[in-house]
Every structure is written in C-alpha cells, then in structure tokens.
Structure 1
C-alpha cells in the first residue's frame, strides 16, 4: 500500500510536446541567422530555437533563465546538417529536466565538439556538392531564357531543406549521441565520398557546357596565316583554355584563399588586358 502511494506522488515525467518540437524546429529553420554577427554567429538563432522547449520544460522564470544561460555560448555550424545538434540538445534538455545528471557545461561541451566537424561535412555536402548539382540541372533547364530552371531550383532546394532539416532534427532528438555516428561513421563517409564524386562530375559538366574561353590570337604574314592559336589548341586539347581558367579559379579560391569576388575581379582584369593586347579581341592580328 505504501509503495502504491509513493508511486502516486512521484513527479510526472516531463515530455516535450510535438507542437513545441515543431515550433523549435521552425525557429531554427527560419531564424538560425537571427542577429548574426562575427561575434555571436548563430548563437541567438540557437537561443530562439531552444526558448519554446525551455518554457515548456521549466515552470518558474528562474529555472527558465538558468536553463537559457547554457545557450549564450558561441555557436556556428552549417545550418542544414547542424540541425541535428539542435535536436540533440532538445533531447538533453528534456532529460535534464527529468533529473538526469546533466548540466550546462556538458551540453555546451557537446555543442562545441560537434559544430566544427558537422560544419565541414555540411559545407562539403550541401554547399560544395548538392547546390552545384541543383544549379547545374537548373542551368540546363534555363536554355533559351526559360524560367523553368529558376522555378526548379527554388522548389527543389526548399523541399530538400525543409524535409531534410526536419529529419535531422527528429533524428537528433530521438537518437541523441547515436545520431552523430550516423552522420560521421564509416558508412556515412562512403556515402559522402560518392556524393562528392557525383558533384565533381556535375561541376565538370557544367563548366564544359557553360564556360567558353577562346583566343582570337593569330599571326599573319601578308595573306598567309602562320598561326591560329585557337585551332592549334583545339587540335591538341579541345576546351584547353576553358579547363585552364576553371582550374585557375579553383586554385585561387582553395589554395590561395581568395574570395569569389576577388577572383571575378581578377578575371575582369585578365579579360580587359587580353582584349587590349589582342588575345581575346578578333579585330587584332599580329
């Protein structure tokens, strides 16, 4: 009888509702760059995502303030893949509210330890692979000025982002630390390598289809053309100048850490000087 009475007065288990989980995800999805600055990066966006969870798990304002102190720490990662960290901390905060031996330092240690590796994975998969693939397909659909390419990119990218991020959020919440193994384990590495290879092939195809660098340089002796440089290059390797310029841009951005804007300005200078000396200008001959 005493045991039954003891069970009856036990504190009920606190559980984050589906409504709050949905609100937390949407706060991160739409506001991960809230009040973005070089000092805080995604810190305030993270706090906005955790606020509805904290409000539901803790009753008093003092407890809520104390819990929110955890998320004042600096945070920055790739927003799409990094969604799994937000889901994990929601699960950790739920466990903490139910008396699990977790504190703010433990939560921040996990956040700080994951944001760097997940940022690298996200940048390579999302920014370096998925987006170029979608843009390559969109460019092909935009031939002749068709708006289908732009519509395709907007619709497909947003669908992938919404459902992909929602899946990662739920995965982090349900699996906790095991979600990280799914993202960075051996099988995940094999998938990333395969996707990266596909992205490289697509980028190469886009470069060959949409970038055309040709020279108009010819050497003429009277009425006899001694050298037509473009024809000579085409006999050796068709598209050699195009491949050279693409590799040059890649080298400047990856090896010399130049921004895309600087690289574009350099290309403008090269184009101007090339036309000035007759390398690109068909009106000038030597």
Structure 2
C-alpha cells in the first residue's frame, strides 16, 4: 500500500493511515451501540465509511450521498470483521466512482460476506476467545488477583483490535487486486455461490436458535393428549420458526415496514399467549 508521497502528492488517495483510522473510528467501534431493528449495524457502518467516501467522492456530492446511503443499508456481522468488509467496500467504491463496476455490486458483496464471516467470527470471538478469557480471568479473581479484569480485557481485545487493523488493510488489498482477478477468471462467482450457501446455513441455524415461541394448542384427551408443537417438530424440527421466517421474508418483499412487523409480532405474541395459542 502506497503513501501520499508515493501517490504523487494526491490528497485524495486512500492511504494506510486512512484505513487504520477507519478501523478504529466511532462507527467501527460503535456498531453495537447504534444497532437498529431495521438496518441493524447499517448506520454505524455508514459512519465508519464516511470519511473514506468523502475522499473518494470529493468532487461529486451526489455520488457521495448515494454511496453513504448504500452503506447505511442493512448490515450485520461479527464486529471485529466489520473493518475487513469496510476495506473491501472502500476499494470497490473507488471502482464505482470511476464507472468500472455497478454501484449495486458493493452491497451484493457485503451481503455475501455477512453470513460466512459471522459464522467464523462468532465461533472465534464469542464462543472460544471470550470463554477462554473469562475462564482465566475468573480463576485469577478467585485467587484474589486484582489484575483479573485487566487480563480478561487484554486476552479478548488484543486479538480483536489486531484483526480490525490488519483486516481493513487486507480487505482493501483484496478489493483492488484479488477481487478483480477473481471476477475475471470466474472464481468470484464460485466464491459468491459458496458464500451464499454458507450464509443460508447460518441463517437457518439462527432461525431456530433465535426464535422463542411455541404453539400451545393440544388435541386429544386423557393420556392421549398430543401437542401440535410436538407433531410439527416430529415432521421437521424448527418448522414453526421456518414458517414464521418465510412469512416475514414474504412481507418484507411486499415492502412492509420492519417497524410494522416488529409491532405486529409483539401484538400477535401478546394475543396468542392470552388465548392460549402460543407459549
């Protein structure tokens, strides 16, 4: 990656320092604090990208506004991988600004990366590293060591911040070099297909794990009472969650507002429990 001097004093060239600052700015570090049900981490991702986009579209206010709107759309990922995706997005935005690739391609790539990288990131940081750090910290705390909280934070955060800083640079390099080559030789299409398959698998597992409702309807009498939920689970575990997810997906396709869906879900839940239909 070249410096500004190596880029011929171009004040609008994206430098290594720009990328590192992006990986550590308020948008990057605050993706969980500006989370919304509609766009999840989208707003924070847009804030993370903002200064880079201003550089790329320094002479094109309309292009900047369109790019900022693109990057505040729906986005969700393990937070430590957000700068990596941001680096790829930055390199793609340079190509979009030059008219080399369509604007929609950047969000397609982001969407394809969310599921696979979240599956990897959650496994590494949430279920492995965080548990390891907590185990060491708790053990030290039980022995009365006052450094236990600090050790916990260091074990978890040093790899996390290292990945942010390294990831944004590698993402940018991938976007300007390997991504273009992959598109030309057809590998990118295969990667996108594989990433889509993994993403669907992750989405399927999340649909079951993050759905907390059951059908309380029962039929039969005496010792022969059978719960409808048990019948559905015997046919396909998680069928009720899958049906609800399919309904939400269909409604979103009909341009129903996510806010309406959230309020409707709350209302249906309350009414369903009151009448004994849901549990």
TM-score, structure 1 as length reference: 0.54
Trace 1:87-106 onto structure 2 (pairs within 5 A). 87-97=87-97, 99-106=98-105
Give me the whole-angstrom Cα distance separating, in 1, the residues matched to 2:82 and 2:165: 11
Measure how far apart 1:64 and its partner are: 1.1
Give me the whole-angstrom Cα distance separating, in 1, the residues matched to 2:147 and 2:101: 51
Query: Residues 53 and 64 of structure 2 are in contact (CA less than 8 Å); yes or no, is this contact kept in structure 1?
Result: yes
Give me the whole-angstrom Cα distance separating, in 1, the residues matched to 2:33 and 2:142: 37
Which residues of structure 1 form unaligned runs of 5+?
1-11, 186-254, 257-286
Trace 1:246-257 onto structure 2 (pairs within 5 A). none
Give me the whole-angstrom Cα distance separating, in 2, the residues matched to 1:137 and 1:34: 27
Partner of 1:86: 86
Partner of 2:44: 45
Tell me: higher relative CO, structure 1 or 2? Use CA pairs within 8 A at least 6 residues apart. Answer: 2
Partner of 1:163: 162
Measure how far apart 1:114 and its partner are: 0.8
Partner of 2:61: 61
Measure how far apart 1:61 and its partner are: 2.0
Give me the whole-angstrom Cα distance separating, in 2, the residues matched to 1:128 and 1:61: 43
Query: Residues 28 and 82 of structure 2 are in contact (CA less than 8 Å); yes or no, is this contact kept in structure 1?
Result: no
Measure how far apart 1:178 and its partner are: 4.8
Cα separation, partners in 2 of 1:15 and 1:42, compared to 1, 3 Å: same
Partner of 2:153: 154
1:11-56 Cα deviation digits (max 9, x unpaired) = x896213343233212243222342121121000110011101111
Give me the whole-angstrom Cα distance separating, in 2, the residues matched to 1:64 and 1:34: 25
Partner of 1:118: 117
Equivalent position SS for 1:133 = helix
Measure how far apart 1:158 and its partner are: 2.3
Measure how far apart 1:104 and its partner are: 2.3
Q: Find the structure with the greater CA-based Rg.
A: 1
Query: Residues 43 and 76 of structure 1 are in contact (CA less than 8 Å); yes or no, is this contact kept in structure 2?
Result: yes
Partner of 2:29: 30
Query: Residues 82 and 122 of structure 1 are in contact (CA less than 8 Å); yes or no, is this contact kept in structure 2?
Result: no
1:229-248 Cα deviation digits (max 9, x unpaired) = xxxxxxxxxxxxxxxxxxxx
Query: Residues 83 and 167 of structure 2 are in contact (CA less than 8 Å); yes or no, is this contact kept in structure 1?
Result: yes
Alignment RMSD (CA, Å): 2.8
TM-score, structure 2 as length reference: 0.55
